[in-house]
A and B are shown apart, each in its own frame.
Chain A
Amino acid sequence: MSIKLNALFSDSYVDVSQYRDQHFKGNRYEQEKLLKQSNTLYVGNLSFYTTEEQVYELFSKSGDVKRIIIGLDKVKKTACGFCFVEYYTRADAENAMRFVNGTRLDDRIIRTDWDAGFKEGRQYGRGKSGGQVRDEYRQDYDPARGGYGKVVARPQSIRTTT
């Protein structure tokens, strides 16, 4: 007796976003398939000072957490503001997407997104300076994310010669 009411059950918080990992080994179709089955979330906009313990506490509210991998600056090997949270079940991850995404951790609104699955190497920032790409080019001052963006901190790099 159950018909799928597409319009009714659109659960947009659980939908896959537009983001695709450019370093993913495989084609778009494979990546999307993994995203739709994944139990792993990418978590962004963390403070550099947010600890694994804090992430555990918050994300445990939607289910048992299997593991957390804190994102690291490739050069400094210190936290650089993102992490991966892996759950034992997809249902628990979905609840995090519904109810933890968009709320605050360490006073910052964090953002979660599906991840195709952690692979060694993905814990490192991909920005030129070692952190995340978004911290390379941003113009604002964010004390919890190393202050100014790298491009502001090194003004010589954007000077053009006359």
Chain B
Amino acid sequence: CHPSRVSLIVGGQSHKRRRTSEPIEIEDRLESLICRVGEKSTSSLESNLEGLAGVLEADLPNYKNKILRILCAVARLLPEKLTVYTTLVGLLNARNYNFGGEFVEAMIRQLKETLKANLYTEALYLVRFLSDLVNCHVIAAPSMVAMFENFVSVTQEEDVPQVRSDWFVYVVLSSLPWVGKELYEKKDVEMDRLLNQIDGYLKRRLKTHVPMLQVWTAEKPHPQEEYLDCLWAQIQKLKKDRWQERHILRPYIAFDSVLCEALQHNLPPFTPPAHTPDCQYPVPRVVFRVFDYTDAPEVVCSANVGINTVFLLYISAAQLLSYPGKNKIPLNYHIVEVIFGELFQLPCPPHIDVMYTTLLIELCKLQPGSLPQVLAQATEMMYMRLDTMNTTCIDRLLNWFSHHLSNFQFRWSWDDWADCLAMDADKPKPKFVKEVLEKCMRLSYHQRIVDIVPPTFSALIPAEPIFFYKYQDEANSALPGYAVAITVGNAIKNRASNEEILTVLKDVPNPNQEDDDDEGEGFNPLKIEVFLQTLLHLAAKSFSHSFSALAKFHEILKALTDCDEGKLHILRVVYEVWRNHPQMISVLVDKLIRTQIVDCAAVANWLFSPNMAHEFTRFYVWEILHSTIRKMNKHVQKIQKELEEAKEKLEKQQHKKDMERNSEDEDGQLEEQIERLQEKVESAQSEQKNLFLVIFQRFIMMLTEHLVRCETGSVDFNTPWYKNCIERLQQIFLMHHVTIQQYVGTLENLLFTAELDHHILAVYQQFCALQL
């Protein structure tokens, strides 16, 4: 049986399947001992720490550097065991003052490196670790205050992105739950001054980015607080409570008599590294909340101590097994809120989406008597607030919900949601239910969905995924191309060659051409239609059949779709025949791109075309578009990597050449290859940029048209369609902000100019604010 997946995600260990064949060296053993301390054990944490401190002290003469490195690594990578390790360091420092000093120096070096490497989360954990070392009498409080003062002075810097000063303030505030009490006891005047500076900064900083990152657009029932504002409110409350903080485990308290004998070190003066254009500061966040505090009065806002899924689950996995009955409830609310908070985080969740689904399934198994109810309650609350939920978050919610249901026999109290049946189909609630049922069908089959919902929900059941063949039977014999369709069908069934089939297709008249126009090789939509409809019809049985068909007749398809109109038409035909099976459309479009029968821009143009306007708000359309953009991005990355590798190879070869005699030829070949790759990279990058420009252009056209039409008709522009469309535009910016950053110049000059309607321009400005 599997070790608990919860502990896997926490980065815990496999207690089974250990490879016993390798000899365990002392260094490995040290690593293992240090990593395991604080985990479930028959002895108390205090005695384990005491014991480990003794072992490490004895090993210091021979293994000091190794121990230093391990401790630095756990400080950076195991934030959930922060206080366990600070206590350990405290004990070691009490026994060996020099070691304590060397550890602090190593931590400072590590802090500098993580900041240089844009590893801001790890840097945060390091600073928090250092601040807790004050509690363990390793670091002197005044020197910690001095470091915090240096951090906060970043708010005085000019011409730096706001996200830079945001981060330094965030680091200081999020360390205070651990060390606020101690710092105030020793340096209250300086701390007050520090907090006043922070207060001033928070009041004057811009919050343009907030609308783009909120999960809900409404202020009720909970305001969607910007993360720094939320944290500040929590710290102020904590200060008012005289820093009485009840949630953090503090093992060092038990060792106070030992630790207070220890000599402390002063942190060296630490200047935050200067801002450079390479710096990639974390994107700001908005705090997610789904429960009222009346539901669970002891729930603590997770942002105030920077608790994330990893931290939370570490404590909950242990505590879940030991909490008596009723106390489990607040913890379950907390767990659910943290998990959804991460899942809905904009731009992206910290972990892959499916991880959260599996995590919740595991937690339901661990706590079958309490967690499922809380989860159902959360789902209900999110359903009730769908009207104001960000479209991207609705996507993630419906993905999660349908996948979750598929693990629990699709059991759900659908009747509780009967209110959606009376609403217009384009309203968020019925739309949500419809999309959920469609996703559920993909994981099962049509009849199953019919069986699981009450009969009243039949209008929301997805269509049966059947194929629509235009030339199905003799009733269609009047259609142009019918006869050829039959012939082609037979030819394919009889394994005719490509040439033979092309010959048959020559007989298809071209509705686009004049009768006396003898060219014959131009774009012929009817030819495409006849061939592709017939081919896909014959291959309709499964994905594999369809893929084989596309592969087998790749040559013909390429020939038929040599121009942009051809590519567009192929996509139209795919939609026509498979319009009831969106999943099939998705996979076919994917294959058509990968086999270069259509290009990414064609897909974008097709999705935005008037023919697809009625599908524009359907989830599958956006699945396809985002998948297309991702393919484009991966393609560029792949060629860039090939170029890098070729350059490295050349460098190595030239280096070798200095020492041995190498053929000039080899060098020449490589240089040629590099030149070709360089061209390929440029071409791919240009295609990528073009794709985004096409998408933005189309959005602007659609939205402008809508806004103008509403204005002239004196109707409210803020329809469900508009909300969906503008949030999809936001979604493009958010999901691909790193790539799009490169095009800011072009975007500003060409597309997002001052003449644009301010509603559309606002989205662009919010995007820019993400890295201000």
Partners in one complex: yes
> Residues of A with Cβ closer than 8 Å to B?
1-3, 5-13, 15, 51-54, 56-58, 61-62, 64, 67-70, 95, 98-100, 102-107
Which A residues are CB-close (under 8 A) to B73? Answer: 2-3, 5, 8
Expressed in whole angstroms, the minimum distance between the Cβ of A106 and any Cβ of chain B is 7
Q: Which of B346-369 contact A (CB under 8 A)?
A: 352-355, 357-358, 361
Cα A10 to Cα B445 in complex, Å, equals 38
Expressed in whole angstroms, the minimum distance between the Cβ of B442 and any Cβ of chain A is 4
Which B residues are CB-close (under 8 A) to A13? Answer: 2, 5, 8
**Interface digits, B426-464 against A, CB 8 Å rule (1 contact, 0 not)?**
000000000000010011110000000000000000000
Cα A11 to Cα B70 in complex, Å, equals 19
Which partner residue on chain A sits nearest B623 by CB separation? A60
Whether, in the assembled complex, B193 has its beta carbon less than 8 Å from a beta carbon of chain A, the answer is no
Q: Which of B397-426 contact A (CB under 8 A)?
A: 399, 403, 406-407, 409
Which partner residue on chain B sits nearest A65 by CB separation? B587
Cα A58 to Cα B32 in complex, Å, equals 36
Whether, in the assembled complex, B542 has its beta carbon less than 8 Å from a beta carbon of chain A, the answer is yes
Whether, in the assembled complex, B223 has its beta carbon less than 8 Å from a beta carbon of chain A, the answer is no
Which A residues are CB-close (under 8 A) to B70? Answer: 3, 5
Which partner residue on chain B sits nearest A92 by CB separation? B352
15 other contacts beyond A13-B5, A67-B547, A105-B443, with CB at 8 A cut-off?
Answer: A3-B70, A6-B31, A7-B13, A7-B28, A8-B78, A10-B14, A11-B8, A15-B14, A54-B443, A54-B445, A57-B442, A57-B583, A62-B352, A98-B355, A98-B358
Cα A95 to Cα B445 in complex, Å, equals 25
Whether, in the assembled complex, B35 has its beta carbon less than 8 Å from a beta carbon of chain A, the answer is yes
Q: Which of B28-66 contact A (CB under 8 A)?
A: 28, 31-32, 35-36
Expressed in whole angstroms, the minimum distance between the Cβ of A33 and any Cβ of chain B is 17
Cα A106 to Cα B13 in complex, Å, equals 31
Cα A100 to Cα B354 in complex, Å, equals 8
Expressed in whole angstroms, the minimum distance between the Cβ of A15 and any Cβ of chain B is 7
Expressed in whole angstroms, the minimum distance between the Cβ of A104 and any Cβ of chain B is 5
Cα A57 to Cα B442 in complex, Å, equals 6
**Interface digits, B627-668 against A, CB 8 Å rule (1 contact, 0 not)?**
100100000000000000000000000000000000000000
Find the residue from B78, B352, B547 having the highest chain A CB count within 10 A.
B352
Contact B8 A6 (CB under 8 A): no
Contact B2 A107 (CB under 8 A): no
Q: Which 9 A-B pairs have the closest CB atoms?
A: A12-B14, A61-B354, A57-B442, A7-B35, A7-B32, A99-B358, A104-B407, A99-B354, A10-B14
Which partner residue on chain A sits nearest B33 by CB separation? A7
Whether, in the assembled complex, B720 has its beta carbon less than 8 Å from a beta carbon of chain A, the answer is no
Whether, in the assembled complex, B113 has its beta carbon less than 8 Å from a beta carbon of chain A, the answer is yes
Find the residue from A2, A12, A61, A100 having the highest chain B CB count within 10 A.
A12
Which B residues are CB-close (under 8 A) to A100? Answer: 354, 358
Contact A68 B543 (CB under 8 A): yes
Which B residues are CB-close (under 8 A) to A68? Answer: 543-544
Which B residues are CB-close (under 8 A) to A12? Answer: 3, 8, 14, 16-17
Which B residues are CB-close (under 8 A) to A102? Answer: 2, 5
Cα A119 to Cα B49 in complex, Å, equals 53
Which A residues are CB-close (under 8 A) to B543? Answer: 52-53, 56, 68
Which A residues are CB-close (under 8 A) to B584? Answer: 53
Which A residues are CB-close (under 8 A) to B3? Answer: 12
Expressed in whole angstroms, the minimum distance between the Cβ of B566 and any Cβ of chain A is 26
Contact B354 A51 (CB under 8 A): no
Which B residues are CB-close (under 8 A) to A7? Answer: 13, 28, 31-32, 35-36
Which A residues are CB-close (under 8 A) to B5? Answer: 13, 98, 102
Expressed in whole angstroms, the minimum distance between the Cβ of B466 and any Cβ of chain A is 13
**Interface digits, B66-100 against A, CB 8 Å rule (1 contact, 0 not)?**
00011011100110000000000000000000000
Cα A1 to Cα B13 in complex, Å, equals 22
Contact A95 B13 (CB under 8 A): no
Take A53-B583, A56-B543, A68-B543 as given contacts and tell me if A8 and B77 are in contact as well, using a CB distance cutoff of 8 Å: yes
Contact A8 B35 (CB under 8 A): yes
Cα A10 to Cα B70 in complex, Å, equals 16
Cα A51 to Cα B723 in complex, Å, equals 36
Which partner residue on chain B sits nearest A9 by CB separation? B11
Cα A9 to Cα B31 in complex, Å, equals 11
Cα A107 to Cα B442 in complex, Å, equals 13
**Interface digits, B510-551 against A, CB 8 Å rule (1 contact, 0 not)?**
000000000000000000000000000000001110010000
Cα A56 to Cα B443 in complex, Å, equals 9
Please list 29 pairs of residues, one from A and one from B, whose beta carbons are closer than 8 Å in the complex, sorted by A's number. Answer: A1-B72, A2-B73, A5-B70, A5-B77, A6-B31, A6-B32, A8-B31, A8-B78, A11-B8, A12-B3, A13-B5, A53-B542, A53-B543, A57-B442, A57-B583, A62-B352, A62-B354, A69-B544, A95-B352, A95-B355, A98-B8, A98-B358, A99-B352, A99-B354, A102-B5, A103-B358, A104-B406, A105-B406, A106-B444
